[in-house]
Amino acid sequence: MSPRRWVGGLVASAVCVFLVVSLSPGEDAASRAAKGTLKPAAPAIRDAAASGTVSSDAPARPAEKGSSITRVTGGDGKLPNDNGQQWREYDIRPYTTRVTTTSRPEQAIIDWILRETGTEVWFSPPLGLLNADRDVLRVYHTPEMHKLIQEIVDRFVSSQAESQAFSLQLITVGSPNWRSRAISLMQSVTVQSPGVDAWLVTKENAAILINELRKRVDVREHNSPNMLIQNGQSQTITRLQPRHYVRSVRMHENSFPGYELEMGQIQEGFSLQISPLLSLDERTVDAVIKCYIDQVEKLIPVNIDIPALAAQRQSVQVQVPQMVSWRLHERFRWPAEEVLLLSCGVVATPSAERPTTLGIPNFLTSNPARADALLFVQSNGKAGQALLEPQRTATGVSPNYRGRY
């Protein structure tokens, strides 16, 4: 036998021995796979992963580009109700159909529910859902939460509150000494915001107080007292005017004069928002009041040296604003037959006016004016009646805007 034939026979014999050892009598590949001693090939793993049958102990593979790392399931198709949550739908059409001042009147209901319940109860256990369109408010929560929501929704859809209206009036007084004569007409109320005072005043005494304030030369009225607000909705009064200043300088080496001034703008003035809601028995008023005032006290000049095209240095002046700001965000509750009076303290005036001396503008100082900001909030009863019979003061005189509006 030749050496080449002898080597070929030896290789063939080795292959036969390997097959006999791998597949012993009575045990084929299928039975060994059933016992778990035969591992599937890599393509089989990929096919099983595509069909969702890969076990949890399968080796992790790097996520492909664009795929999700988080394990996401479809759940069992049922909402958890471990705390007895219930699904309820509230018909809010009696309210939304009569509100024509906004395109989404249902948002007011959502806002007041969140004010009463807080936002954290909708993002923590037990599971809760809150959604509304123009016709239906959908809620999924515990029976105790449904009881609270039912009371809030009733205050909106009740026919008694259908035509209720509210008004607010913003007045600034140059000196807080108005309190010395008015303190006997007011009843103090607790306030959480620092620097803010609040009182309850009867409507008759409020008319007398406003009439006395109008006799002062340092009084300014910043809005009409006849502004009406739909029950539950929000109303905003804004008086803002832009204040321009040189914010920075930008270099341009290849153009004349080699730099460009960058202008900035600050909205100076005030914004006042109120969201009132009458109780179901019409005896009390809840209101959330937000107010902010921004005023530029002065613009501080800063000289910046920049290189010139002629190899000489030149100076450019930029300005840094020194701001005076004030913020109020608080909720109040008071009897509907009384007037809520808020004093924000001596703050920046809503309109950037010069300080006055005995009512005469003082041009010797560049500092802006300061004033005691007063806010009168009251329920005017039925909106139709309030529109037909405008609010009057004790003497029947019209508001004094001193030729500014």
Higher-confidence position of 392 and 225:
225
Asked if residues 110 and 131 have their Cβ atoms less than 8 Å apart, the reply is: no
What the block records as the tokens of 197 is 């005072």
- pLDDT for position 25: 45
By three-state DSSP, how is residue 161 classified?
helix
Q: What value does the CA radius of gyration of the chain take, rounded to a whole number of Å?
A: 38
Mean pLDDT of 329-334: 93
Residue 198 CB coordination number (10 Å): 21
pLDDT in tens, 181-206: 899 999 999 888 888 899 999 999 99
By three-state DSSP, how is residue 395 classified?
coil
pLDDT over threshold 60, residue 220: yes
How far is it, in rounded angstroms, from Cα 23 to Cα 27? 6
pLDDT over threshold 50, residue 41: no
| Crossing angle of helices 143-157 and 106-117, rounded to 10° | 140
What is the chain's mean pLDDT, rounded?
77
* Cα atoms in the 13 Å half-sphere on the side-chain side of 395: 12
- pLDDT for position 281: 86
Mean pLDDT of 19-46: 44
329 strand-pairing partners: 290
52 class by beta-carbon count within 10 Å (0-12 exposed, 13-18 middle, 19+ buried): exposed
Higher-confidence position of 402 and 196:
196
pLDDT over threshold 50, residue 375: yes
How far is it, in rounded angstroms, from Cα 389 to Cα 251? 62
How far is it, in rounded angstroms, from Cα 63 to Cα 68? 7
| Main-chain dihedrals φ then ψ at residue 389, nearest 5 degrees | -120, 90
Q: Return the DSSP state at 142.
A: -
- pLDDT for position 7: 43
- pLDDT for position 326: 82
Strands of the sheet containing 235-251, edge to edge, are: 235-251, 259-278, 284-307, 313-335
Is residue 47 very low, low, confident or very high in pLDDT (cuts 50, 70, 90)? very low
Mean pLDDT of 27-48: 45
Higher-confidence position of 369 and 149:
149
How far is it, in rounded angstroms, from Cα 187 to Cα 359? 30
| Neighbouring residues of 376: CB distance < 8 A, sequence distance ≥ 6 | 168, 169, 171, 206, 210, 225, 339, 340, 341
Is residue 400 very low, low, confident or very high in pLDDT (cuts 50, 70, 90)? very low
pLDDT over threshold 90, residue 10: no
Q: Which residue has the tokens 């109303």?
A: 235
- pLDDT for position 237: 82
pLDDT over threshold 80, residue 91: yes
- pLDDT for position 350: 65
Mean pLDDT of 25-34: 46
Asked if residues 140 and 79 have their Cβ atoms less than 8 Å apart, the reply is: yes
How far is it, in rounded angstroms, from Cα 381 to Cα 391? 11
What the block records as the tokens of 145 is 């939460």
Is residue 313 very low, low, confident or very high in pLDDT (cuts 50, 70, 90)? confident
pLDDT over threshold 90, residue 292: no
pLDDT over threshold 80, residue 224: no
- Record the pTM: 0.68
pLDDT in tens, 246-282: 999 888 777 777 788 899 999 988 888 889 998 888 8
pLDDT over threshold 80, residue 92: yes
pLDDT in tens, 129-165: 999 999 999 999 999 999 999 999 999 998 765 666 7
Note the Cα 203 to chain centre separation in Å. 33
Least confident span in 7-16, 311-320, 350-359: 7-16
Kind of pairing, strands 164-173 and 136-141? unpaired
